[in-house]
Amino acid sequence: MASTDSLIELKCKNCGSQLSPEDISPQLAAARCKHCNALFAIPTAAPRGSEPLPRPKVPLPPGFEIHTAPNALQITRRWRSGMAWFLLFFTIFWNGFMIVWHTMALSSGMWHMSLFGIIHTAVGIGLAYTVAASFLNSTAIRCQPGSIQIEHGPLPWKGNLTLDTNGLQQLYVSEKINRGKNGSSTSYQLEAVLRDKRRKTLIKNLTDPDQALFIEQEIEELLKIRDRSVVGEYSR
């Protein structure tokens, strides 16, 4: 997290768009997004020089492992969850239906009918890969003075990165709300604020805020990053 007088970057809680200074009203402690017109309250900055209250220690979340060594640590998060089982049964049903579809079409000589189902078949293949990753993959976060390395595997998955910690100013957790026709879902991200004021997302799609807060807590402790608040960060 970072000092509110030097980091004043906000994102809309509704659509995630970056807010500009004219969207924010410090007097009303509120902001209005010019993209989706959402109005929401923003936390006010603490007085200059004031010390934040110590944050309660976040315990090791389920599905996490941590290994420490002098000046180094590795946090491993398994992807498998209850949702993976639901997705497994849905994928079996989807691909089973497509197998029957193509079998009937080809046995009847209706090639156009089989071709019509190719897009749905591609979706089924993508679902199968996602299910396999949900059961087999894990995320490894390796940290030492000088670098943070994040790897997803063993199945290839986007999001691998290495961050030079010499340019790192602060870590914080953000909340992302995705709204769709069937309702909304909430996920959490671990974000980095760099010394040139750029922001970089390190890990996405965490289902529990404690998962992101735990990773932040452990990395900050190892790298001796002072815990400061960032306007717009997730607050417990």
143 part of a folded domain: yes
Give the sign of the dihedral formed by CA 19, CA 21, CA 27, CA 32: negative
Whole-model pTM? 0.71
| Same domain flag for 96 and 197 | no
For residue 92, is it within any domain?
Answer: yes
Same domain, 68 and 100: no
Cα(205)–Cα(112) distance, integer angstroms? 39
152 and 68 fall within a common domain: yes
- Check if the beta carbon of residue 4 is closer than 8 Å to that of residue 230: yes
Give, for 176, the enclosing helix (H) or strand (E).
strand 168-180
pLDDT, tens digit, 9 for 90 and up, residues 66-98: 999 989 999 999 999 888 899 999 999 999 999
Same domain, yes or no, for 70 and 111? no
- pLDDT tens digits for range 166-180: 989 999 999 988 877
What is the extent of the structural domain holding 185?
Answer: 63-78+138-223
- Counting Cα atoms < 13 Å in the Cβ hemisphere of 199 gives 20
Task: Scan for tokens 């007097």, then name that residue.
Answer: 27
Residues 206 and 152 in one domain: yes
Give CA–CA dist 28/49, Å, rounded: 23
Which H or E element spans position 148?
Answer: strand 147-153
Task: Kindly report the backbone phi and psi dihedral angles of residue 218, in degrees, each rounded to the nearest multiple of 5, phi listed first.
Answer: -70, -40
User: What is the average pLDDT across 3-9?
Assistant: 43
What's the number of domains the chain is made of? 2
Which pLDDT does position 123 carry in this prediction?
A: 93
